[in-house]
Structure 1
Amino acid sequence: MIFLRLWHQSLLSTLPKSQLLAQWRELNSIFAKEDRHILINYIYDYPKDDLFAYTQLVLREMRARDINIRTVDKMERYFANGPFEKVTHPFVHHHNEEYFEICYFNLKEKFMRGQKDFDAERYEALTKMYVVEMGK
């Protein structure tokens, strides 16, 4: 069973590499099959501008970490009818404070359970971001 999730865009820089790579795979699955899943169905309520903007954020983070992006053909086909409007906060009504917190606790559990590529430094950055975003 596949569990699709588009992580809150504010957390992309704190994702362990495995989560970031999985995010790219999930996006490619959406591009190829327009997957439906309870955790991502909301994306189809938005214009493609939002998914395009979100995808650019994921690509930017992957490039910042020097992660090799082998293929973008599915993405290019999916977004072939562009250009797209600039969106500063993709999925604004869903990627809100509550969703940020849901994603944070999901990642916190991964760290607590010993995910191999989730080091203490990345977890500390995640926790600092949580404190700033949530005022806690």
Structure 2
Amino acid sequence: MRLWHYKLLPVLPDKFIIAEWRECIAIKRQWEKGTLKHRLVSYVEKYDKDMFGWYVYNVRLELIKRKIKFQEKLFSEILEFCKDSDNHSCYPEHNDRYLRQCYYNLQEKYDRGIITSAEYNLINKTIGGKIDN
């Protein structure tokens, strides 16, 4: 379970953006129940819910852009949960270091044959040159 760095959302392979949508739904449900314990995403609870709403909104935009079907009702539920405020920023954790971590995670997925050359080339072309080693 993870929230990919927001700058990667436009270049994630379709199966990853679909999985991210599902992750967002799972995070919202666990957060509501007070059972959000996964270390890679539990940081979201430290902040206003509107940051989560902003992130989910951007995932939704990618789904729409790619013509991937999803349940709009679930998005409405997340907005209600987040109270749809005016915050248009992402988590401080989504910094350059986290972008590198996510990029290298995707690089490993390419190395293991989980994503295609075309998918990785798009990621690398868009993000790879912005990664400091």
Tell me the TM-score normalised to structure 2 length: 0.86
CA contact (8 A) 2:53 2:78 kept: no
1:31 and 2:31 correspond: no
Residue segments in structure 1 that go unaligned for 5+ positions in a row:
none
CA distance, structure 1, for counterparts of residue 66 and residue 78 of structure 2: 25
Identity %: 29
Equivalent runs, 1:1-136 vs 2, <5 Å: 4-34=1-31, 35-69=36-70, 71-80=71-80, 82-87=83-88, 89-91=89-91, 93-115=92-114, 118-134=115-131
CA distance, structure 2, for counterparts of residue 131 and residue 83 of structure 1: 33
CA contact (8 A) 1:8 1:99 kept: yes
What is the number of residues matched between the two proteins? Answer: 128
Give the helix-richer structure, 1 or 2.
Answer: 2
CA drift at 1:125: 1.8
CA contact (8 A) 1:32 1:74 kept: no
CA drift at 1:45: 1.0
User: What is the RMSD of the two structures over their aligned residues, measured on CA atoms?
Assistant: 1.7
Residue segments in structure 2 that go unaligned for 5+ positions in a row:
none
Runs of 4+ in 1 over 3 A off after TM superposition: 72-75
CA contact (8 A) 2:53 2:84 kept: no
CA contact (8 A) 1:16 1:122 kept: yes
Q: Choose 100-109 or 29-38, whichever is displaced more.
A: 29-38
